[in-house]
Amino acid sequence: GLIHLEGCHGCGKTHLATAWLRENNVPLEDWGNMVFDAGQGGGPEQLFHAINRAWQAEHRMVVLSTPAQSEILSKLPDVRSRLAAGIFLSIPDPGDEVLTTILERHLLVHGIKLTREDLQFFIHRLPRSPQDVIHAAELMKNIMFEQKMTASKKLFHLVLEEIVS
């Protein structure tokens, strides 16, 4: 069988695929034959061959893509029919809670803990993608360490100015 996970960059497709592989006790050496990530440069022809290899080996196949990548992958009729024969799951864009958790975890790695109020203030002003939130966490860490600043509205505005510019 084939499972196609579609969602924006950073929404957790790879984490879901990894969790599924671990849950099903798939040996690590088989992972590369069972997961096709369109974001890693694979096109329709590569996917077609990967699906065929997985079916011949009686492996399941997990395909990861963004909506734009799915459109490209579906241009080849044979791939489109194989994707249509599988299970399609669309992962919604992350909301405030998920983005806040991403921000919080990326800051905690560097020993930075923000209050809930500061997290909410900041997250509501950021662009709505996981990559932007991760980038903001890195910028915040760098500014805090380079300028020896603590968490404050001034810091948040410096980070936001950098991201928006």
Provide the residue ranges of all domains of the chain, joining segments of one domain with +.
Answer: 2-90, 96-164
Same CATH topology for 2-90 and 96-164: the answer is: no
Separation in Å, CA 100 to CA 6, 13, 115, 136: 22, 18, 11, 12
As a whole number of angstroms, the distance between CA 25 and CA 165 comes to 46
Residue type, 17: A
Kind of pairing between the strands at 35-37 and 61-65: parallel
CATH topology of domain 96-164: Helicase, Ruva Protein; domain 3 (1.10.8)
| 52-62 residue pLDDT tens | 988 888 888 99
pTM for the full predicted model: 0.76
Highest CATH level, class, for 2-90: alpha beta
Per residue in 27-36, pLDDT (tens digit) is 999 888 899 9
pLDDT at residue 32, as a whole number: 85
pLDDT above 80 (res 41): no
> C-alpha 7: how far from its chain's center?
8
Query: Which residue matches tokens 């890195």?
Result: 138
**Interatomic CA distance for residues 138 and 132, integer angstroms:** 10
Q: How far is CA 72 from CA 38, 47, 107, in A?
A: 9, 11, 35
What is the C-alpha separation between 19 and 29, in angstroms, rounded? Answer: 15
CA dist 131 and 125 (Å) reads 14
